[in-house]
Amino acid sequence: MKLLKSIHLAVIVLLVTSACRSNATEKSNKSTPPNILVILCDDLGYADVGFNGSTDIITPEMDKLAVNGTIFTSAYVAHSFCGPSRAALMTGRYPHQVGAPFNLHSNSSESDADNMGVTTSEVFMPKALQEAGYYTSVIGKWHLGASPKFHPNKRGFDNFYGFLGGGHNYFPSKYRKVYESQKKQGVKIIRDYVFPLEHNGKEVRETEYITDALSRETVNTIKLAKKNKQPFFTYLAYNAPHVPLEAKTEDMEVFNSIKDKDRRTYAGMVYAVDRGVGEIVAALKETNQLENTIIVFLSDNGGNFDHGANNAPLKGTKGDTWEGGFRVPMFVHWPAKLKGGQIYDYPVSALDLYPSFLNAANAKLPKDKVLSGKDILPAVIAGEDARPNEMIYALRYRHGYCDVAGRKGSLKVTRMGNEPWLMFDVDKDKGEKKNLGKRYPEKMKDMIQEIEEWTHSFIKPMWYYSAKDEELWEDGRMPQFKETFEVDMLQNSASKR
Ligand code: CA
């Protein structure tokens, strides 16, 4: 493990004195299965948390956990936007391999419902944990299928509180009016962003700001699991800070010095998440569970810089295969096994969570389960490279060429649209400024070939985001792998710059 970096040092020095320690009376029994809490933000930028060096947004609660755990500087998700990234988290496989490389569009419960969801032939992670005795909850955004057979309660979650679509408005007092008025008018398709929230299939009359509501429900799951003497797995999928940009006035006031209104609102939304994290940690302490709870915090994809986010020093934004598209802020806090104050620079993937959690929980891998990631916890605990010589991939289907990338060790090759292939050392050159393709043409060719071989494992998408996607696919004008991986583009790249 490399030395702490200066950008983090200030935060660590500042916070280590107020270190987040578990209750001293808490007993850590090594044989007790750990609780698992995944806190997933939606479209949170790499630079938008204190522990990653944010200078304008403050996240004191998250920072305390991060500096007392391990901060991952090279954590990747399996796709650069929402639905496919979440499908990967739940299945442990790249979304293209399970037919889920596109977002489900709004109100996908309305049409073609049988196909509009992640295939039930894939056993979701919570199902395996449920079978190992865990109390499993998903709180917040689902986005993996809205019709009954894809409902969270059918995919291994005992408890679901949230919404089935791809996002939601934040103030019940405002969105309820829109919903009720449209319902009264008989509007046929009401956008799911204004639907009432639900609890295990039953509509609820939520009154709190959504981020606060999701934090509150998470606290409830923690207390309930304790009461029932069950280990818990909670997947807390905040929709914040995804659009619409809507923050509480009191949270925005913390950021009065930020002049740009979008950024100020976004900052308030992140601050509400941070406040929630504080409440959750307090509940874990109160119930003597903090010591043996694995808390993983990350974002589902890169920040969207058109909507207030900042991915610095990474290049690019949500949706692309620059680092800013799919390299995300992440930390793991687990006092029982993982010593604090660590920075882990080796690349890891959100795909690694499925096998890591199952092993930590001593849960059985579902029969014939195929996984794209691996159990990284032993290597992380030892401070070693968890996936030497293993590539991390990203691919987004576009109209025309694909956006594509592969990282192995510190090297990454990428190609976007009809541009040439490029190669970077993304450990040193996070902003992807210096193309190394000309210096290492053979290495680059090998890596591109490896990515091309990975695409052989893909299956046909089970749904498309738009009719245009479907038309292009059926016509053979998507995904255009031949053109994407053609050698000519390599030569162009080598001669360019
Ligand atoms: Ca997202």
| Residue range 378-400, pLDDT digits in tens | 999 999 999 999 999 999 999 98
For residue 439, count other CB atoms closer than 10 A to its CB: 11
**41 strand-pairing partners:** 299
CATH 3.40.720.10 segments of the chain:
9-22+33-382
∠252-258-260 over CA atoms, to 5°? 95
> Would you state the pLDDT for residue 188?
86
| Residues 178-228 pLDDT 10s | 999 999 999 988 899 999 999 999 999 999 999 999 999 999 999 999 999
Share the mean pLDDT of the chain: 92
Position 105 scores a pLDDT of 82
Give residue 242 CA to ligand 1 midpoint distance, Å. Answer: 7
Residues in contact with 285: Cβ distance below 8 Å, sequence separation at least 6, in sequence order: 22, 23
Residues 8, 41, 79, 82: which is the catalytic one? 82
pLDDT for residue 19 is more than 70: no
**Is 70 exceeded by the pLDDT of residue 427?**
yes
State in Å: Cα 154 to ligand 1 middle.
Answer: 23
Contact 360, 35 (CB under 8 A): no
Mean pLDDT, residues 481-495 taken together: 68
Q: At what angle do helices 441-454 and 487-495 cross, to 10 degrees?
A: 150
pLDDT at 477: 93
Is 143 considered catalytic here? yes
**262-282 residues labelled b (16+ CB within 10 A) or e (exposed):** ebbbbbbbbbbbbbbbbebbe
- Asked if 104 contacts 463 with a C-beta cutoff of 8 angstroms, the reply is yes
Q: What percent of the chain has pLDDT over 70?
A: 90
82 belongs to the catalytic site: yes
CA–centroid distance, 84 to ligand 1, in Å, is 9
Q: Distance from the CA of 86 to the center of ligand 1, in angstroms?
A: 9
- Structure confidence at residue 487 as a pLDDT band (50, 70, 90): low
SS3 content of the chain, % helix, strand, coil (to 5): 35, 15, 50
Give whole-number Cα distances, 437 to 315, 347, 434, 447, 481, in Å: 18, 21, 9, 11, 20
What's the pLDDT at 214?
98
The Å distance, Cα 321 to ligand 1 centre, comes to: 14
pLDDT of residue 268: 98
Cα–ligand 1 centroid distance for 81 (angstroms): 5
- Cα–Cα distance for residue pair 102/79, rounded to 1 Å: 10
Q: Does domain 9-22+33-382 have CATH number 3.40.720.10?
A: yes
The pLDDT score that the predictor gives to residue 39 is 99
Which pLDDT belongs to residue 106? 74
Q: Which residues of 311-326 are buried (b: 16+ CB within 10 A; e: fewer)?
A: bbbbbbbbbbbbbbbb
**Residue ranges with CB less than 5 Å from ion ligand 1:** 42-43, 82, 300-301
Chain region(s) in the chain for CATH 3.30.1120.10: 391-495
Distance 82 CA to ligand 1 centre (A): 4
Reported as a pLDDT band with limits 50, 70 and 90, residue 305 is very high
Residue 453 pLDDT: 97
- The pLDDT tens digits of the residues spanning 72-117 come to 999 999 999 999 999 999 999 999 999 999 999 876 555 557 789 9
Q: Distances from the Cα of 290 to the Cαs of 37, 216, 273, 330, 377, in angstroms?
A: 10, 17, 19, 18, 18
pLDDT at 150: 96
Q: Does CATH number 3.40.50.720 belong to domain 391-495?
A: no
How much is the pLDDT for 418?
84
Longest dimension (CA), the chain: 65
Pick the catalytic residue: 8, 79, 96, 143?
143
Mean pLDDT over 406-410 rounds to: 97
